[in-house]
Chain A
Amino acid sequence: MIHTWSSLISTLFLLLLCITGLPLIFHHEIDELLGYDPKPEIAQPGAVKRSIDEIARTALANDPGRVLQYILWDKDEPNTVIAFTNTKADGDPDAATLRAYDAHTAKPLGSVGGGPMLIFLKLHVDMFAGQPGKLFLGAMGFLFLVAIISGVVLYWPFTRRLSFGTLRDKSRRIAWFDWHNLLGAITIAWALVVGATGVINTLAEVMLNRWKATELADMVKPYAGKPPPVHLASLDATLEKARKIAPDMNVSFVAFPGTPFTSSHHFAVFMRGHTPLTSRLLKPVLLDGETGEVSDARDLPVYLKALLVSQPLHFGDYGGMPLKIIWALLDVMTIVVIGSGLYLWIVKRRKHRSHAIAGQPSLQPSE
């Protein structure tokens, strides 16, 4: 009963998530192929990187009338600087423009993201329905977890008489029933991890707002009531001071005052480590927007660390191309489990209606 209904309610949305998620596993490669992932020019030997202040000025000149929200450094592309501009510091995320700039020449290299993969991403994340859409898909993901766990309970009565991996060929229905059980059983751990981390990701905004209301509010207490900075400090000087606080880390991105990742008065420089794990565990350093002096630096709370670590476990982008291919195949196996589950339910319903086959034991339990 639980297995049937938790699955049925979420089936269509889970199929949507699995199908849109499939190309998203390779979004980096696809973006590169379609020209949405600009590459830096080959730097001359001995070339010196331009100042970030210069790149920031170029970015603002490129998008007149807009403001800078974030400047970001891709871990795998140290010669590119990515600038986010928007209509205002806390503007609609969908209105943000991402452009890449060459770190050595400050030349614009083109816009980042966009294209067909952005449509897949929006469908996958919120179905173009903003935060409510995101939370709704989170609820569907939760039903997916319920369906998996209730499936484990049902696995016992159905397979206890069969050797593991038995695939009978008696009828189409039994064949699909055995495939449903087998593929479901061997993908449980992966599906639970990807499902649970997906649900956690839908709560990103909620967690960020909580962090801002508690920890961040506490960190910027001395600045309460102060107006936003009029003249921003030099970015290069600000970044240098942030690096001194965490000398064994690199800058992941800097959030400009008033953006969702910081206070109205501070730059927040988010530092990352070097290993696959520590490069996800960002450490924010808050710096005065006017003077560039360090105000505070604290590790993120556990729930935000959990969010950051859950992201690679959802995307499958942390183990090279072979892991991405395995991720895609497991996704296809999950589509088969969901599709065969739907098929089995339809067949069973049809049978119940017609009462055609009498005397044959039902595959579904009397729940």
Chain B
Amino acid sequence: MTAARKSRSSVNGWTVYGGPLLIGVLSIAGLLSALLSEGPGRYFSWLAVGTPVALAAWFFVRRKRA
């Protein structure tokens, strides 16, 4: 468990919100790209909008067991 804990000094907005923010920006970009471009935009949207799904699967596989 200790490995997952952050030291108090390293806590800031970026360490907490950075990950979700990046995923959010990527999601929005993907949602718009398929709307604006039928070819490459569509492929990019699959990757970008699909990132949360892939991440959830990845976290599920490597989750810590008690």
Chain A contacts to B: CB under 8 angstroms = 152, 155-156, 159-170, 182-183, 185-190, 193, 275-277, 309, 312-313, 318-320, 322-323, 326-327, 329-330, 333
Asked if A326 meets B49 with Cβ closer than 8 Å, knowing A159-B16, A166-B64, A186-B20, the reply is yes
Contact A167 B59 (CB under 8 A): yes
Q: Scoring B residues 27 to 66 as 1 if CB is less than 8 Å from chain A, else 0, what string do you get?
A: 1100100111110001001100111110110011001111
Instruction: Pick the contact of A161: B5, B24, B34, B35 (CB < 8 A).
Output: B5
Asked if A326 meets B4 with Cβ closer than 8 Å, knowing A155-B17, A186-B23, A275-B38, the reply is no
Which 7 residue pairs of A and B lie closest in terms of their CB atoms, listed nearest first? A319-B34, A189-B24, A189-B27, A164-B19, A167-B63, A169-B66, A186-B52
In the bound complex, residues from chain B placing their C-beta under 8 Å from that of A190 are 27, 31, 49, 52
Minimum CB distance partner of B24 in chain A: A189
In the bound complex, residues from chain B placing their C-beta under 8 Å from that of A333 are 52-53, 56
Instruction: Pick the contact of A185: B6, B19, B49, B66 (CB < 8 A).
Output: B19
A319-B34, A323-B34, A333-B52 known; 17 new pairs, CB 8 Å cut-off, are A155-B17, A156-B16, A160-B16, A162-B4, A162-B5, A164-B18, A164-B19, A167-B60, A167-B63, A167-B64, A188-B20, A275-B36, A276-B34, A326-B49, A326-B50, A327-B49, A330-B52
In the bound complex, residues from chain A placing their C-beta under 8 Å from that of B42 are 319-320, 323
In the bound complex, residues from chain B placing their C-beta under 8 Å from that of A329 are 50, 53
Minimum CB distance partner of A185 in chain B: B20
Asked if A183 meets B4 with Cβ closer than 8 Å, knowing A164-B18, A169-B65, the reply is no
Report the bound CA distance from A327 to B49 in whole Å.
8
Report the bound CA distance from A326 to B53 in whole Å.
7
> Can you sample 24 A-B contacts with CB below 8 Å?
A155-B20, A156-B16, A162-B6, A165-B19, A167-B60, A168-B4, A168-B66, A183-B56, A186-B23, A187-B52, A188-B20, A188-B23, A189-B27, A190-B49, A193-B27, A193-B28, A276-B35, A276-B37, A277-B35, A312-B35, A319-B46, A323-B34, A329-B53, A330-B52
Asked if A161 meets B11 with Cβ closer than 8 Å, knowing A167-B63, A276-B35, the reply is yes
Report the bound CA distance from A57 to B56 in whole Å.
55
Tally of B interface residues using CB under 8 Å: 40
In the bound complex, residues from chain A placing their C-beta under 8 Å from that of B63 are 167, 169
Report the bound CA distance from A326 to B13 in whole Å.
29
Chain B contacts to A: CB under 8 angstroms = 1, 4-6, 8, 11, 13, 15-20, 23-25, 27-28, 31, 34-38, 42, 45-46, 49-53, 55-56, 59-60, 63-66
Shortest distance in angstroms between A306's beta carbon and chain B's nearest beta carbon? 13
In the bound complex, residues from chain B placing their C-beta under 8 Å from that of A152 are 17
Instruction: Pick the contact of A155: B16, B28, B66 (CB < 8 A).
Output: B16
Report the bound CA distance from A188 to B56 in whole Å.
13
Report the bound CA distance from A167 to B59 in whole Å.
8
Contact A182 B6 (CB under 8 A): no
Contact B28 A189 (CB under 8 A): yes
Minimum CB distance partner of A166 in chain B: B4
Minimum CB distance partner of B1 in chain A: A168
Shortest distance in angstroms between B45's beta carbon and chain A's nearest beta carbon? 5
Shortest distance in angstroms between B39's beta carbon and chain A's nearest beta carbon? 11
Interface centre among A170, A188, A319, A323 (most CB of B within 10 A): A319
Minimum CB distance partner of B11 in chain A: A160
In the bound complex, residues from chain A placing their C-beta under 8 Å from that of B19 are 164-165, 185-186
In the bound complex, residues from chain B placing their C-beta under 8 Å from that of A185 are 19-20, 23
In the bound complex, residues from chain A placing their C-beta under 8 Å from that of B51 are 186
Report the bound CA distance from A271 to B52 in whole Å.
36
Report the bound CA distance from A193 to B45 in whole Å.
14
Minimum CB distance partner of A164 in chain B: B19
Contact B6 A165 (CB under 8 A): no
